[in-house]
Structure 1
Amino acid sequence: MTLTKTFLGAGAALAVSAVAALAEPGLIIDLGGKFDKSFNESAYTGAERWAEETGGDYLETELQSEAQREQNMRKMAERGANPIVVLGFANQSTLAQVAPDYPDTNFAIVDAVVDEPNVKSIVFSEHEGSYLVGMIAAMKSESDTVGFIGGMDVPLIRKFACGYAQGVKAVNPDAEVIANMTGTTPAAWNDPVKGGELAKSQVSQGADVIYAAAGGTGVGVLQAAADEGVFSIGVDSNQNYLHPGSVLTSMVKRVDNAVYEVFSEGAEGFEAGVEVLGLEAEGVGYAVDEHNEDLITDEIETAVEEAKAGIISGEIEVHDYTSDDSCPVLDF
């Protein structure tokens, strides 16, 4: 839907009000595509759930290159979308520049913090959810060696890796954690071939459980793990269904709920500020369903649920890599 922004005469105020009432929410999907079976797809699922439940429409655009970030953001605002959900930390600096130019448009950014009066910043406690799947990996491993494969080497992904390693070490202090990143550019989010190669390399070093936090690249990790006869752990979306019996669990990050809630709040219910979604808010967790329930024993579930309660209560503190750019149990 395209909304005109030219108003004439005494009806201007009424026209502005009508436009606000008709505003549709918008979703800007980051590089890697909306069907990456991970982060972007989770957001898309949330938008679709909102559309199905409300009968509403929303505007959507997918980034195809770095150069499109500012252009797409401004175009979405000019089309009248409100609120606009922007996915990914890579949009942080762009949104910081764009948001002040559209003070009547509400923006929400996932995985970054932008301090503007019309921006909601939604961040997740990925280290907490990763700690839990790290425990599961250590309890399932027979070789005492597990792996982690990240996408782009950035602090956010190191946050996943560090939380995972802490969970592994909590179960087995002598376990080895092999960590690899796919690359240093955004292309690292959509390189399943490289992901598969890294997974096979880790298997050759003894890893029998591999956690992938790499967007579309992770699909290649999970495939290689299945081919090599070892377990994998999915991320963001529940990826257990991709290789039943091989995907041990998935560290779910409820980006879908975040998008759904922003869309549901609409322009009128929007509140700026920072929202942190951790274990207590069920913003992160681990997935158990018909595809992996035979793999998660009662012993594993009991231990992980006890740890979950401990993290929520503060009894167990999981170090956040992004707090000081360091990890006490893993060298990068």
Structure 2
Amino acid sequence: MERAGLLVPETINDQVWGTKGYQGLLKVQSEFGIDVFYKEGITSKAITEGAISEFSQKNVNLIFGHGEEYAEYFEQLASSYPDIHFVSFNGEANLPNTTSLSFDGYAMGFFGGMTAAHMSPNKKVGVIAAFEWQPEVEGFIKGAIIEEPETEVFVEYTQHWNDGEMALNLLDEMLLKGVDVIYPAGDGFNIPLIEKIKEKGLYAIGYVSDQSDLGQSTVLTSTVQHVDKLYELVAKKYAMGELEQGNQHFDFKDGVITMGEYSPLVDEEFKHSIQTYVHEYIETGKFPSEK
């Protein structure tokens, strides 16, 4: 591997998804002692093609497209750059030099849902997600009901990762229904939602990053996707000639998904149970059954 590049649709300074990708690029730089490059605001096929051309001239031979949109762009452009391996997220990778990465989000949602239901005074919890296909939503619902069968779970979607205005409106609607624990499963809007939840004295489950720093009396725990570790893992596979073409899935067992820090409000017995369940899931792939 000579050099690596990163394309992000928004910014590396969002403190969530974009920042995680940039941290991953820096890990690759540190691990392999190579030059790395990044470009922000890459939001169309034409702009992506220009960025790839620029990276190619700099002898970049591993490019991370930090979002689902890049899977489609790379499939259309990668054949023109056979010496570059293209890595994207949550898409279809069919060419010999393309790989699409996916976090298996069901399990993290499941354990987040268990925590939410356990800590909900009203036994009403909610998910505000971006898209219906997110597996963490289904996992959250199942985990909440496994933990507390009487729990009501409310689910809404924004249809966009970054629609903060809609997400806040959906939050207002959920709060009117008595929901007291919210899982804001969208990396572009979860921070403003958690800030508003904090103002209301209610609870949240953090998403993508460990968001305990937003308030330990608000954020009960977080479902953390370690994008930085995943990029480092992918780069190691590439350097060793072991990075497979196609769609690749990663989970707790790969060390790239974990539960975040728990609030002091969460009792020790429950924390121990969750840690045991996570360990059993890593070992067996199985979840706790209904009580």
Deviation at 1:94, TM superposition (A): 1.2
Matching residue of 1:166? 142
Q: Where does residue 35 of structure 1 map in the other structure?
A: 13
Aligned residues of 1:198 and 1:221 also touching (Cα < 8 A): no
Query: In structure 2, which of residues 164, 176, 184 is the aligned counterpart of residue 212 of structure 1?
Result: 184
Unaligned runs of 5+ in 2: none
| 1:303 partnered with 2:276 | no
- The Cα shift of 1:285 comes to 2.1
Distance, in Å, in 1 between the alignment partners of 2:166 and 2:203 is 18
One-letter amino acid of the counterpart of residue 139, structure 1: H
1:101 pairs with 2:101: no
The equivalent position to 1:226 in structure 2, one of 198, 203, 206, is: 198
The total of aligned residue pairs comes to 286
Higher relative contact order (CA 8 A, sep 6+): 1
The aligned residue for residue 7 of structure 1 is none
1:165–1:61 Cα change, 3 Å: same
Aligned-residue identity in percent: 24
Instruction: State the 1:92 CA deviation.
Output: 1.7
Determine if contact 1:148/1:211 at 8 Å carries over to the other structure.
yes
Residue 285 (structure 1) aligns with: 258
CA pair 308-266 structure 1, distance change in 2 beyond 3 A: closer
Q: Kindly indicate whether residue 213 of structure 2 is the aligned counterpart of residue 235 of structure 1.
A: no
Which amino acid in the other structure matches residue 61 of structure 1? K
Cα shift at 1:264: 4.5
**Mapped contact 1:253–1:284 kept (Cα < 8 A):** yes
The structure whose Rg is larger is 1
- Aligned residue identity for 1:301: K
Aligned residue in 2 for 1:46: 24
Contact 2:112 2:223 in 1 (8 A): yes
Q: Distance in 2 between matches of 1:32 and 1:204?
A: 32
Alignment check: 8 A CA contact 2:132 2:157 kept = no
Q: Which residue of 2 aligns with 1:189?
A: 161
Deviations 1:269-289 (A, max 9, x none): 45223432112112222101x
Q: Distance in 2 between matches of 1:74 and 1:296?
A: 51
The structure 2 residue matched to 1:252, chosen from 205, 224, 229, is: 224
Q: Give 3-state SS (helix, strand or coil) of 1:107's partner.
A: strand
Aligned partners of 1:269, 1:64: CA distance in 2, in Å?
Answer: 28
Residue 40 (structure 1) shift: 2.0
Mark the CA change 1:226 to 1:106 in structure 2 (over 3 Å): closer, same or farther: same
Q: CA deviation at 1:54?
A: 5.2
The structure-2 alpha-carbon separation of the partners of 1:74 and 1:295, relative to structure 1 and needing over 3 Å to count, comes to: farther
Please, what TM-score do these two structures have when normalized by structure 2?
0.88
1:315 and 2:286 are equivalent in the alignment: yes
What is the CA RMSD across the aligned residues, in angstroms? 2.3
Query: What does residue 62 of structure 2 align with?
Result: 83
- 1:130 equivalent to 2:109? Answer yes
Assess if the C-alpha contact under 8 Å between 2:4 and 2:34 holds in 1.
Answer: no
> For the Cα contact (< 8 Å) 2:7–2:42, is it kept in 1?
no
Distance in 2 between residues matched to 1:72 and 1:96, nearest whole Å:
15
Hey, what's the Cα distance between the residues in 1 that align with 2:44 and 2:185? 21
Q: Counterpart of 1:261?
A: 233
Is residue 271 from structure 1 mapped to residue 248 from structure 2 by the alignment?
no
1:61 correspondence with 2:43: no
- Residue 57 of structure 1: how far off its partner (Å): 2.4
Report the Cα distance in structure 2 between the residues aligned to 1:116 and 1:247, rounded to whole angstroms: 41
Match of 2:172 in 1: 200
Which whole-Å deviations, capped at 9, do the CAs of 1:161-202 have from their partners, x for residues lacking one?
1111111011112211111112x3xxx322334333322321
User: Which blocks of at least 5 consecutive residues in structure 1 are unaligned?
Assistant: 1-20, 319-332
Distance 1:314 1:55 in 2: 36
> Which of the numbers 138, 144, 156 marks the counterpart of 1:180?
156
Aligned match of 1:121 in 100, 108, 112?
Answer: 100
Shift of the alpha carbon at 1:53?
5.3
In 2, Cα distance between equivalents of 1:45 and 1:177: 34
- Distance in 1 (CA, whole Å) between partners of 2:59 and 2:207 is 33
Query: Equivalents in 2 of 1:69, 1:130: separation in Å?
Result: 32
Give me the whole-angstrom Cα distance separating, in 1, the residues matched to 2:12 and 2:253: 28
- Is the CA contact 1:69–1:94 (under 8 Å) kept in the aligned structure 2? yes
Aligned residue for 1:33, secondary structure, equals coil
SS of residue in 1 equivalent to 2:35: coil
